[in-house]
Amino acid sequence: MSFEPKLLGFLCNWCAYAGADLAGVSRMKYPPNLRIIRIMCTGRLDPQMVLKAFAEGADGVFIGG
């Protein structure tokens, strides 16, 4: 079995999350490895959250915003 990474995305409500939404509306496809969490601003992202994602098994963290 090939390695399927689990990625966690923290996306800003006003830019990256809107972009991900638009990708959906435009029926663009992307692999299901990315789980997205919407945050109201990347300024709200705490380093604790990134560490916690890795501690709970994420292979990568994507911060969009």
Partner 1 sequence: MAKPKVAVYWSAACGGCDVKVLDTNEKILDIAAAVDLLFWPIALDFKYKDVEEMADREIDLCIINGGIRNSEQEHIVKLLRRKSKVVAALGACAISGGIPALANLYDAQSILDYVYHKTTSIDNFQGPLPQPEYDAPEGRLTIPKFYDSVFALDQMIDVQYYIPGCPPPPSLIVKALTAFLQGTLPPPPATVAGEGSVCDECPRERNREAKVKKWKRIAQFTPPADTKKCLLDEGFFCLGPATQAGCEALCIKANIPCEGCMGKPQGVTDRGSKMLSYIASLTDASTEEEAKKILNDVVDQAGLLYRFDLPKSLIGGRRKE
Binding site residues, partner 1, CB under 8 A: 46-48, 50-52, 54-55
Closest separation in Å from C-beta 46 to partner 1: 6
Nearest CB to partner 1, comparing residues 14 and 54: 54
Nearest CB to partner 1, comparing residues 1 and 55: 55
At position 11, the amino acid (one-letter code) is L
Q: In the chain, which ranges are E strands?
A: 7-12, 34-39, 60-64
42: which 2 tokens?
Answer: 């990347």
Residues 65/9, Cβ–Cβ less than 8 Å: no
Closest separation in Å from C-beta 30 to partner 1: 27
